[in-house]
Amino acid sequence: MALMIIVLLSTLFYLRRRRQIRKEEEYLLDLMTSEDANNVSELQTGNNGRNLNIYTAALIMSATNGFSPDNLLGKGGFGPVFKGALDDGQEVAIKRLSSGSSQGLVEFKNELILIAKLQHTNLVRLLGFCVQGEEKMLVYEYMPNKSLDTFIFDDSKRKLLNWDKRFSIIEGIAQGLLYLHKYSRLRIIHRDLKLSNILLDENMNPKISDFGLARIYKTSEAGSNTNRIVGTYGYMSPEYAMEGIFSEKSDVYSFGVMVLEVVSGRKNSSHFEFDRPLNL
């Protein structure tokens, strides 16, 4: 009798959890496809993700010295990234959405909504965000050693990474990817894994970054396809680059390309021969 009660309660708990996951997936998909950028503030509190700080534009202006060019870390499709220092002295990296960028707005929401759900030692940590007027910014922990490509593709810096350290970096990336695909609250496909999106902390530990192109992978889905191919050629799997078909295997392919680059120290050719048959 006791065993039957335990089995019944376990089954009810499992079914309830499955319903919660499905509702969460639908909620996030609706939020990500909404045209209202300001609805991202819903993620600051409650059960939609871990608590995030909401920063004012004035505070970020002060932290970056008015977005001084001296603090510019780099630029991407989303917009420029600046180094900043908060009032308590904490160093941060600030992604600022380029004004008038509709695609950047999509990536801003996508990144904020997804990263708010994630927490792993090998994923870059989002501290908070700013949505104020035309200003839309994401605030991350600062990675002093920048991205992995600055080491691997530089003849002098590459020598700083011995084989043990390279293996440790590869293992860390794999752990972060496994978390995204299997152990996070929602299964996520990154879709833009490359060395420039692997950041290194002060101890050269890798952290996967840039989730602007990531997609939630429903537990009921075995794969998906899209007419809009995004990402970086050379890291894309052939079926995704040519036919728009993506799944967890797409990220695994990108991971394999990164491993070859880390081991060889050479950049991939970023070239596909579209006139050749895709399938063997």
Domain locations in the chain as residue ranges: 21-141, 149-264
Give 153's pLDDT tier (boundaries 50, 70, 90). Answer: very high
Output the six-digit token pair for 254.
């990108």
- For this structure, is 192 an active site residue? yes
Report how far residue 105's alpha carbon sits from residue 278's, in angstroms, rounded to the nearest whole number: 34
What are the backbone dihedrals phi and psi of residue 74, each rounded to the nearest 5 degrees, phi first? 170, 180
Report how far residue 85's alpha carbon sits from residue 138's, in angstroms, rounded to the nearest whole number: 14
Judged by DSSP in three states, 131 sits in: strand
Dump pLDDT digits (tens) for 258-274. 999 999 999 987 555 55
pLDDT at 187 over 80: yes
Give 256's pLDDT tier (boundaries 50, 70, 90). Answer: very high
The domain covering 21-141 belongs, at the CATH homologous superfamily level, to: Phosphorylase Kinase; domain 1 (3.30.200.20)
pLDDT at 168 over 80: yes
Give 47's pLDDT tier (boundaries 50, 70, 90). Answer: very low
Dump pLDDT digits (tens) for 1-23. 666 667 666 666 555 655 654 55
If one compares 196 and 46, the residue with the highest pLDDT of the two is 196
Which is nearest to 166 in space by CA: 42, 72, 28, 258? Answer: 258
CATH class in words for 149-264 = mainly alpha
This prediction has a pTM of: 0.80
Task: Give the angle subtended at the CA of 238 by the CAs of 235 and 239, to the nearest 5°.
Answer: 125
Residue 263: predicted pLDDT: 96
Residue 63: predicted pLDDT: 96
DSSP-H helix ranges across the chain = 2-33, 57-63, 102-115, 149-152, 163-178, 238-243, 248-264
Residue 148 φ/ψ region, left for φ over 0, alpha for ψ in the -120 to 50 degree band, beta for the rest: alpha
Name the catalytic one among 87, 88, 192, 275: 192
Residue range 201-229: mean pLDDT, rounded: 79
Dump pLDDT digits (tens) for 97-108. 887 665 677 778
Give 213's pLDDT tier (boundaries 50, 70, 90). Answer: confident
